[in-house]
Structure 1
Amino acid sequence: MSAGECGLLLIRLTFGLLTAGHGAQKLFGLFGGPGLAATGRGFDALGYHPGKVFAVIGGLSELAGGLGLAVGLFTPLAAAAIIGVMINAMVTVSGANGLWIQDNGVEYSVAICIVVLALAAIGPGRLSLDRFFPWRDGGWLAAAVALGLGGIGAAIALSI
């Protein structure tokens, strides 16, 4: 097992499990999260109606995308789910606040988007469930699928 494979696994596990945890906060109130009812009210306040439906979509996107990324399963789709959520967060929550996180800016969401897009482009590595699929090695197509589907999903959610 090479250092590069271990590095990919470490990045996937860190970003994947933290993102999945964030989804679990929204959906189930785990890890000190607000749970579905409160998250739904928050989504309503952001203009997503009905808020609870969008809270489920956002929470499931984070949970499933994060778990997929962590185990390296359908990595381009997992990255797309996370990218879509982060684009929505940037547009509705942090975009008007500039770049830096101390001003509630987009810095954190941009960083997550770039990491998961890079994982789609590089591929999840041999230490993944995707090792048997053609996208295991990433590439331009895998990155384009992740970015394209994430952007389309975000655009649909933002237009409703």
Structure 2
Amino acid sequence: MSAGLLLLRLLLAALLFGHAAQKLLGWFRGLGPDGTAAVFESWGFRPGRPMVLLAGTCELVGAVLLGAGAVTPLAAAVVMGTMIVAAAPSAANGLWAHLGGCEVPFLYGSLALVVAVTGPGNWSVDHAVGADDFSGVPWAVAAAVLAAVSAVPPLLLRRRNLRGAGEDVEAGRVGP
């Protein structure tokens, strides 16, 4: 089981690292901070550049911590919170990615929750330092609550920004 958990953690960490590198560095055909900022702003996450830096940093920190199996409930909370926010712009399109849905952030957040429930396994920093007691359902629930609470401010900011943009569009102050 430990080998499977290690593989799960490393695969999720690699994907999260890739997403962070697209945002922060423009790697893997990403747009980098400035290009991604324009996309974030179109989604209502303004100001775009700071929001990109925050999202990319959260993905990177989550990737490193989950990959190492270190502070696993906190790492899972960081990933889940980031993915809750990431799902917001595409949630209205449903689940499936090929229809523009939120499948990818849902999957990444769900996998982080799975790791929080199971714990990182024996091949992890948490196991090496004797922090194995910090896993299981109670810690996973705490991580999920922390993630949801942490996602509220950027989601409220997005909602406010989109309402303001809608009012501006209706008043003729913003182009199409």
What is the TM-score with the length of structure 1 in the denominator? 0.91
Unaligned runs of 5+ in 1: none
Say which is worse superposed, 144-153 or 7-16, in terms of deviation.
Answer: 144-153
Unaligned runs of 5+ in 2: 158-176
Q: Deviations over 1:32-85 (max 9, x none)?
A: 211111111111111111111110110001111011111111111111111112
Does residue 56 of the first structure (1) align with residue 53 of the second (2)? yes
Pick the aligned partner of 1:97 from 93, 104, 110: 93
Q: Distance in 1 between matches of 2:45 and 2:117?
A: 31
Does residue 41 of the first structure (1) align with residue 33 of the second (2)? no
- Structure 1 stretches of 4+ with a deviation exceeding 4 A read none
**What amino acid is aligned across from residue 151 of structure 1 in structure 2?**
A
Equivalent runs, 1:5-154 vs 2, <5 Å: 5-92=2-89, 94-131=90-127, 132-135=129-132, 138-154=135-151
Q: Distance in 1 between matches of 2:152 and 2:130?
A: 29
CA-based RMSD of the aligned residues comes to: 1.4
What is the TM-score with the length of structure 2 in the denominator? 0.83
Instruction: Tell me how many residue pairs correspond in the alignment.
Output: 156
Structure with the bigger percentage of helix: 1
